[in-house]
Amino acid sequence: MPDTSYPLKQNCLSEENLLVDPDLLGMKREELKELSIDELKSRLIDVQQELEELKFQKALQQLENPLQLRYLRKEIAQIKTVLNEFELGIRQAEA
């Protein structure tokens, strides 16, 4: 009779199993909130260019870590959210 007991799985999100270097995760949301509008716009351009490069690598099947795409898309969304908050007056530019 085959053994139907399965070994317990480890938590996939534990630090030992993290597939992405924490340095690649980008800026934290609190760090984004401290940047000025000009810094946010330049950061947005940099991250978008990096995303384009990774998409090109993916097309050539040379992408080492596909999770980088997800993290860059999230960072772009967070930057755009903070910029939109400035436009709507929710967040005030520090003088």
Quote the tokens at residue 54: 């990774």
Residue span of the structural domain in which 34 resides: 20-88
pLDDT digit string, tens, across residues 57-81: 999 999 899 999 999 999 999 999 9
**In total, how many domains does the chain have?**
1
Any domain includes 6:
no
pLDDT digit string, tens, across residues 5-52: 555 544 444 444 444 455 556 667 788 888 889 999 999 999 999 999
Quote the tokens at residue 77: 């969304």
Kindly state the greatest CA–CA separation across the chain: 74
Query: For residue 4, how many other CB atoms are within 10 A of its CB?
Result: 5
Helices 37-59 and 67-88: angle between axes, nearest 10 degrees: 150
pTM (whole model) above 0.75: no
The CATH code of the domain that includes 64 is 1.10.287
Any domain includes 30:
yes
